[in-house]
Structure 1
Amino acid sequence: MSAAVAVGQGVRSFVRFFRDVMGEDAYRKYADFHAASGCASPLMSEKEFWRDKMDRQDANPQGRCC
């Protein structure tokens, strides 16, 4: 493996980790859980999911800085 390939993989891993920490993968996790749980309700669209998530955070602020 060349150094350039190793650096590229490292950068991609860091970006993926950073996105996970920031919660960017929340919809994917929701969709995966929804599919695995056999939930009868329809899957929310990504827009609906984020709106619902923000509404819940606004109604119940916990440890947010702003």
Structure 2
Amino acid sequence: MDGRFVGSAVHSPAATTRALLSRLWAGVRGVARWYSAINGGQDYQRYVDHLRRTHPGCPVPSERQYWRDRYDEAERNPTTRCC
């Protein structure tokens, strides 16, 4: 044996720190994904996928044009807003 007990939870301080930082960053990434989803972070990519799948001959607008059109539509039709 190498001096450790079988099944013991003996870890070096560096390993414990790495594990803690790994969990912390996973939490930060989760919050970032949640925030992005609330603000429509994947909407453009989903729109592009939809266009390519259901309308293969249609031109795909740039991301800038997509957001411009989306905000213009929200201004023309204010009933779709939450506030």
Q: TM-score if structure 2 supplies the norm length?
A: 0.67
RMSD of aligned Cα (Å): 1.7
Alignment partner of 2:74 out of 52, 57, 60: 57
Alignment correspondent of 2:59: 42
Contact map agreement 2:44 2:66 (CA 8 A) in 1: yes
Alignment correspondent of 2:32: 15
In structure 1, give the amino acid aligned to 2:81. Answer: G
Q: Larger Cα Rg: Structure 1 or Structure 2? A: 2
Gaps of 5+ in 2: 1-17
Contact map agreement 2:44 2:63 (CA 8 A) in 1: yes
Gaps of 5+ in 1: none
Give the aligned length. 65
Instruction: Please state whether the residue corresponding to 1:35 is helix, strand or coil.
Output: helix
Encode CA deviations 1:6-31: one digit per residue, 9 max, x unaligned. 11011101101111111122111111
If asked which structure has higher relative contact order (CA below 8 Å, sep 6+), I would say 1
- d(CA) in 1 for partners of 2:81 and 2:64? 24
- d(CA) in 2 for partners of 1:53 and 1:8? 33
